[in-house]
Amino acid sequence: MLRIDGLVCGYGGSQVLRGLDLQIAAGESVALLGRNGMGKTTLLRAIMGLLPAKAGKLWFDDRRIDGTKTEAIAKAGLAFVPQGREIFPDLTVAENLQLGAMGRRGLGAGIPQEIFQRFPILAERLKQKGGTLSGGQQQQLAIGRALAGQPKMLLLDEPSDGLQPSIVTEVGRAMRREVEEQGLTLITVEQNVALALAIAERCLFIENGILVAETSSAALRADDSLIHRYLAI
């Protein structure tokens, strides 16, 4: 579903991604792990077309997406929940979700009701401004907004950031169900290994802008040496 060959990407003169290769099959849930500043967010932003690739090729659904506009990439079926969530704080919960729905599916599209089964709290807060929600609710709103467009694939950047443990578990469970029941393809960037293991069946490790190791979640549970090597400080 997603294939990246030799992606080089960075800010100004500095290279962050140095020839990264990645392949993800439809319906797969993958975790991307790595220390701060290794290029995880940069990779997701490059996939969304928010950062131009300096070299390398990207395919989504067998279509080249490097050099494509962000909105076209979103329309093709990729959704993004950025680090820091970036909900629209001055718009209501309903408006945030509405934007997610119609951005990809046209002005006439309504909010899919499944969102409220996944995140019941959103149904209770529809009229409230996004900015007045708690951190955990904002994260659920950001994910709900992305899912409202019924994407084929979702890029989730550090969903556990700043959340209470109980909410982290809840978000993890909701994402797992989205993958299993809806067939969503998912990349989750995480520093919280427990959450990554709960969501993904395959874990990738990134260091200095390239993928350096890969393992199944089951193997990682049994042997955590990779975690010591690529995550511990």
Ligand X SMILES: Nc1ncnc2c1ncn2[C@@H]1O[C@H](COP(=O)(O)OP(=O)(O)OP(=O)(O)O)[C@@H](O)[C@H]1O
Distance CA 142, CA 104 (A): 15
Among 18, 75, 129, 176, binds other proteins (CB under 8 A): 75
Instruction: Say which entry of ligand X, other proteins, Mg ion, none residue 34 contacts (CB below 5 to 8 A, set by partner kind).
Output: ligand X
The residues that bridge with 18 in the sheet, in sequence order, are 8
Rg value, the chain, Cα: 17
Query: Which of the choices ligand X, other proteins, Mg ion, none does residue 233 contact, using the CB cut-off of 5 to 8 A by kind?
Result: none
Q: What is the DSSP secondary structure assignment for residue 203, as one 8-state letter? A: E
Applying CB under 6 A, does 20 fall inside the site for ligand X? no
Q: How far is the CB of 122 from ligand X (least distance, A)?
A: 26
Q: Which of 162, 187, 198, 173 is nearest to 48 (CA)?
A: 187
Q: Looking at 41, 96, 137, 192, which residue binds ligand X (CB under 6 A)?
A: 41
Closest CA to 75 of 51, 48, 96, 97: 48
Residues 77-136 that bind other proteins (CB under 8 A): 79-80, 82, 86, 88, 90-91, 95, 98-100, 102-104, 107
Among 29, 41, 137, 192, binds Mg ion (CB under 5 A): 41
Q: Which two tokens stand for residue 217?
A: 């979640």
C-alpha torsion sign, points 158, 159, 160, 161 = positive
Would you count residue 4 as binding ligand X (CB under 6 A)? no
Q: Residue 192, interface with Mg ion (CB under 5 A)?
A: no
Tokens for 197?
A: 């293991």
Exposure letters 47-71 (e unless 16+ CB within 10 A, then b): bbbebebeebebebeeeebbebeee
Nearer to other proteins, 47 or 174 (CB): 47
Q: Which of residues 37-56 bind other proteins (CB under 8 A)?
A: 48, 50
Cβ-in-10-Å burial (0-12, 13-18, 19+) of 27 comes to middle
H/E element, 196: helix 193-199
Q: How far is the CB of 49 from other proteins (least distance, A)?
A: 8
What is the smallest separation between the CB atom of 198 and Mg ion, expressed in angstroms?
20
User: Near ligand X by CB under 6 A, which window of 34-42, 55-63, 67-75, 141-149?
Assistant: 34-42
The answer to the question of residue 39 lying near ligand X (CB under 6 A) is yes
Q: Does 139 bind other proteins (CB under 8 A)?
A: no
Residues that bind Mg ion (CB under 5 A): 40-41, 83
Residues that bind ligand X (CB under 6 A): 11, 16, 34, 36-42, 83
